[in-house]
Amino acid sequence: MITLGEYIVEKQHDFPEASGELTLLLGAIRLATKIVNREINKAGLADIIGSTGVENVQGEVQQKMDLYANDKFKAALEARGEVCGIASEEEDEFISFDSERGCNSKYVILMDPLDGSSNIDVNVSVGTIFSIYKRISPIGTPVTLDDFLQPGNKQVAAGYVVYGSSTMLVYTTGNGVHGFTCDPSLGVFYLSHENMTIPETGRTYSINEGNYLKFPMGVKKYLKYCQEIDEPTQRPYTSRYIGSLVSDFHRNLLTGGIYIYPSTASAPDGKLRLLYECNPMAFLMEQAGGKAIDGYKRILDIVPTELHERAPFFCGSNEMIDKAHAMMIEYAE
């Protein structure tokens, strides 16, 4: 059995410019993951469920576990000294690590420390999403906003952790998608899913249909297509929506499907964050052989203009994305 650390060292040639830095970066993420996973597993026994009553920069009420996970990941990354700064969905502004080692680091990390955190209260799967970029500001200086406002096609690594019936860490460095399952008796991540690929098509669509009346016409037409009876294409498809991007994405990656969080009448720019959610998941999806678009164009080609920018998000199996894309164009309003 190959551990996460062993696998990263073995694949160093896939990430030559980072030398041993990728090992240290993912080691810090792995450590924070274990700590967060431990607290999630005892959430019903400790006073860490429920909301704080405080809104984050997006106007969403933060959960206690949001802040806990954010603090643990931030501390682990700063202590390891391989990043010059981080940006988090839970922070209003980016955080610069201004120590001598931090200023001399090459990488920045953007993260959603706990995706779907409101699900913890009802014991439903949640996750962590992370994205790694090489800084564009000079080495030896404090990190700048421009270091974080890079398009997704500049990512050097991305991944997620799903805290479910088992805890899995899935990552890519641009050379395939690899999954590692945690053995809870040892606290070690072992390689369990090497070179993960998504089927060309699937029979599952994931979307919050409660917002149907607010969807663009192209999305409405695609949903009706998914629900029609058609034996050659094995329709109707099955609707599966957990309300945690990581969980819905992970299921569709393994079995085939499409995930859609479109723009709505009340959220014309969509709801998901481009930098913390859409870009890393799009990188993973493309590396697994699928596609990710905002309904019309490739997610990874969008040039961000602000840290907490939002974007509509369609990702999944090629055939399903192509069909949804065609309907978005046909019924563009």
User: Mind listing the pLDDT tens digit for each residue in 215-233?
Assistant: 999 999 999 999 999 999 9
* Structural domains in the chain plus CATH codes: 4-193 (3.30.540.10), 204-330 (3.40.190.80)
What pLDDT digit, counting tens, does each position of 283-296 carry?
A: 999 999 999 999 99
Quick count: other Cβ atoms within 10 Å of Cβ 10? 11
Q: Is the pLDDT of residue 256 over 70?
A: yes
Angle, helix 64-80 to helix 21-41, in steps of 10 degrees: 150
Averaged confidence pLDDT in the chain: 91
- What's the whole-number mean pLDDT along residues 93-119? 91
Percent of the chain predicted with pLDDT > 70: 92
Q: What is the DSSP letter of 238?
A: E
- What's the whole-number mean pLDDT along residues 136-165? 95
Q: Is the pLDDT of residue 53 over 70?
A: no
- What's the whole-number mean pLDDT along residues 40-46? 68
Cα 179 from Cα 276, distance rounded (Å)? 20
Cα 328 from Cα 166, distance rounded (Å)? 37
Q: How confident is the model at residue 255 (pLDDT cuts 50, 70, 90)?
A: very high
Q: How confident is the model at residue 56 (pLDDT cuts 50, 70, 90)?
A: low
Q: Is the pLDDT of residue 300 over 70?
A: yes
Do the beta carbons of residue 125 and residue 247 sit within 8 Å? yes
Categorise residue 243: left if φ over 0, alpha if ψ from -120 to 50, beta otherwise: left
pTM of the model: 0.94
Spatial CA neighbour of 72 closest among 25, 23, 39: 39
